[in-house]
Every structure is written in C-alpha cells, then in structure tokens.
Amino acid sequence: MFHKEGHKIIIITLVIVVGCFLLVDSFIDVTWIRTIVMIVLLAFLILILQFFRNPKRNTNLNDNQVISPVDGKVVVIEEVFEKEYFNEKRLQVSVFMSPLNVHVTRYPIGGNVVFSKYHPGKYLVAWHPKASEENERTTVVVENETYGKVLHRQIAGALAKRIVNYAKVEDKAIQGGESGFIKFGSRVDLFLPLDTKIKVVLNQKVKGGESIIAEN
C-alpha cells in the first residue's frame, strides 16, 4: 500500500524507468553494461516505491502514553526551552528518519489540535543543532485531558523539499492517525512535560504509531 503523497511521483518514475529500459535495450549492445544499467534503474524504482509505502499500524489507544509519530532512530533526549508555543522548558525527544524509513507522520496523542503552523526555512541536515529553528518545518500541538499538551514538529532535512501537514486547529486528532508526510530524509521533534516518563533511549529504533515514547 502506497501513500497518496507518492502516487504522482510513483507514476512519473515508473514511466521514466520503463522508457529508459526500452532505450537501454535498443541502444546498448554490450550485455554486461545493459544489465548493470537496468539493475540500477530497477533499484531506483524500488527505492521510490519503498519510500512511499504506507504500512498499516496497530496503535493501542492510550491517553496516558505518547507514541512515536514516525519511524526512525531516537537522536535527542534532553531538556530544552521551547520558545515557539510553550515559552517554557520541555523534554525534547527527536526521531531521525533516513530515506529508507516510512515517512508518514502520525499523531503522538489523541485529542484536539490547538495549534498548527507552517514555517518556510532552510534545508540544513536534519541532525544539525539549528535545524529545528531554521529549517522548513511545521509545528502542531495536540491536547487531551489526561496528558495535557504535546507538540510535535516536522523538520525538513537536506533532501526533504516538501513537508505536508494535515493538522488544522480544532481538528479531532486520533492517536496514531495521519497528521502529515515528509518527503525524503528528515526528523520529527516531540516536546513533552518535564515530569513525563521517557520510555526510550538514545539510538533506539522506533516505529511510528506503535512504539511508546513516554507516559505520565
């Protein structure tokens, strides 16, 4: 199953690859060169297909828990001052996504969307310290009565040239439901209450919609 954000790119890529296959078969007579070129073209198509895959996730709905919004690796767990929305100290947990990860962004908690904003910006590598403040990004805050407010921020990386954000203020967020999509390598930051119990460690691999990041 492929994500709707990839349908156009997949079709274009498929047409290009098929066209290149025909050209290669017609104009390259050396067998080993033709084989290598075809393998490279096929690998490129497979890479695009796997990038836009959208596997079904089984989310156990729990208002006491924060789940990972994306697939990837935990690269930051630290106390920071969040100045866009909270203007106070929060626990930041960041998940880095490589181009090989599923790039669907999911709501970490269920509740009401109380803030959603897009910021144009740079395309620094996603792990750069200033990426969360200077790169293209979107900020979404969801609130429920049990956990309170959780902010998740999609951040474009050096390869990510488009962030898609579905969250709108007053939307009803369903934990594990789709809140957006980031095209190619990037990262997502979570900002949580200081007294939250973090359930992951640095460099741990997590799965969007399923892995528990924190609980109260």
How does strand 178-182 pair with strand 104-106?
Answer: antiparallel
Helix orientation angle between 31-51 and 7-27, rounded to the nearest 10 degrees: 180
How does strand 111-119 pair with strand 137-144?
Answer: antiparallel
Residues 133-138: contacts with CB under 8 Å, at least 24 apart? 136/160, 136/163, 137/163, 138/163, 138/165, 138/167, 138/180
Q: Chain centroid to CA 21: how far?
A: 32
68 is catalytic: no
Is residue 148 left, alpha or beta, with left meaning phi > 0 and alpha meaning psi from -120 to 50?
left
Among the options 68, 116, 186, 211, which is catalytic?
186
Residues labelled as active-site residues: 186
